[in-house]
Structure 1
Amino acid sequence: MRVLVIGTEDMTGEHVVKQLADRHHNPVALVGAENKVEEMVKLGARDVVSLEKRDFSSAFSGCEAVIYLSSASPRTGEGKPILVDHQSVIDSVKAAKKHGVKRFVLMSAMRSNEMGDASAIRFNSEELLRQEKFTYTVIRTSMPVDKPGIGKVEAGLSIEHEKEEIPKEDIASVLVEALDTKAVFNKTINVTSGEILIHEALQRL
């Protein structure tokens, strides 16, 4: 599957590109600067789209799926570990629809019980995916951390006792696993570190 990865400026996005390649998908990495191209190729990206040289919308051409990580803005490359850039989600959804993309996985690094403006922006982004009739999955995570993945999580439509953090490598594994897991199609799920293997945790949903 040809999969566009938006948010490769962060380590989570790098893990996603590598894991997609390891699973014999064809990852397309969207980067904000030309100096990231070689790094993405080494990780296994089949194609790299630099916004310094190519139009944003062109990155979606020929892609069957999108994995959007809220940890970076595709327009600026600036780290945004908490708040989903609502406008960039809108732009991505419009471009995906224009190019016939059917599958959209959105990662929101935000607690499910957070309130206020940030929560409203997150909700609007998710509602947009529903309205545009993508086969979508929204994955809300606890705080991403730069630690080795353990390959185990707790996942659910709601999580009563959230741990404070989850390794970025495990977030990437959840995003990649979700692509083909029908049990999470058209659902918003919460994920944190846990004791269940990632594949099994998603299948249980």
Structure 2
Amino acid sequence: MKVIVIGAHSSVGEFVVSKLMENGYTSCAVISDENQMDLMKKRGATEVVLYEERILPTLFNGYDAAIYLTGVNPKAKTGRTVMIDHESVIETVKEAEKQGVKRFVMMSAIMANEAAGDDSREIGAKEMPDELLRQSNLTYTIVQPGAFTDKPGNGKISAAETLDSNELEISHEDIAEVLVMSLETEAAFNKTFEVAEGDTVITKALSSL
């Protein structure tokens, strides 16, 4: 399977690229800065592409699947506003569908359903592209992670449509593993779920969705 990674230049994206290589996938890392090219190649990317809006209509040609890391702007080196994120995801989903991508795995807003206070408006905006993806003809998986940590992954998680606590965490490495393992785990097809560190091996947790 050939997989394109949008947002590969993020902390999670670097782990995604490495884990795709470890699991025998051909990958294309889409980055925002040519200075990131060498790092992506070291991480194991088969191909590295510098994002430009003009390449979007052909970006997915020849690829079977996409992993999209929302909150990582493919167009800029810095963070993005929610509205830019919203528009970018919608553009990308539409083009992936047009260009024949079969699988689309998206890392969505952190615990989108647990938003509260001032954050709720922004999370709500981020739910809009999730809904577009659900309504597309793509076989999708939408993963909503807990708060990120830099600690090493241990390969164990909790995953469910809704998790009990809104103070859950997950390492960059483990969320990357979840995204990659979701590609071919049928129990994760056309599902939206929350994920955080836990006691269940990732493959088993995903198979039980």
**1:77–1:51: structure 2 CA closer, same or farther, 3 Å change rule?**
same
The SS at the match of 1:87 is helix
Name the CA distance, whole Å, in 1 between partners of 2:45 and 2:174.
Answer: 19
Matched, 1:123 2:124: no
The SS at the match of 1:171 is helix
Unaligned runs of 5+ in 1: none
Would the aligned equivalents of 2:15 and 2:176 in 1 still touch at CA under 8 Å? Answer: yes
One-letter amino acid of the counterpart of residue 189, structure 1: F
Q: How many residues align?
A: 205
CA RMSD in angstroms comes to 2.1
Would the aligned equivalents of 1:72 and 1:80 in 2 still touch at CA under 8 Å? Answer: yes
Match of 2:103 in 1: 103
Matched, 1:144 2:145: no
The SS at the match of 2:91 is helix
Would the aligned equivalents of 1:70 and 1:80 in 2 still touch at CA under 8 Å? Answer: no
Match of 2:196 in 1: 192
Unaligned runs of 5+ in 2: none
**1:80–1:201: structure 2 CA closer, same or farther, 3 Å change rule?**
farther
Would the aligned equivalents of 2:18 and 2:43 in 1 still touch at CA under 8 Å? Answer: yes
TM-score using structure 1 length: 0.92
Shift of 1:59: 2.4
The SS at the match of 1:55 is helix
Would the aligned equivalents of 1:84 and 1:121 in 2 still touch at CA under 8 Å? Answer: no
Shift of 1:84: 8.4
Would the aligned equivalents of 1:154 and 1:194 in 2 still touch at CA under 8 Å? Answer: yes
Identity %: 41
Cα deviation digits, residues 79-137 of structure 1 (max 9, x gap): 46999811110111122012111111110241231153223222211111122121000
TM-score using structure 2 length: 0.91
Match of 1:21 in 2: 21
Match of 1:6 in 2: 6
The SS at the match of 2:8 is coil
One-letter amino acid of the counterpart of residue 115, structure 2: E
The SS at the match of 1:147 is coil
**1:128–1:150: structure 2 CA closer, same or farther, 3 Å change rule?**
same
Matched, 1:135 2:112: no
Q: Aligned ranges for residues 41-60 of structure 1 at < 5 Å? A: 41-51=41-51, 55-60=55-60
Name the CA distance, whole Å, in 2 between partners of 1:147 and 1:114.
Answer: 24
Q: Which runs of 4+ in 1 moved over 3 A?
A: 79-84
One-letter amino acid of the counterpart of residue 160, structure 1: D
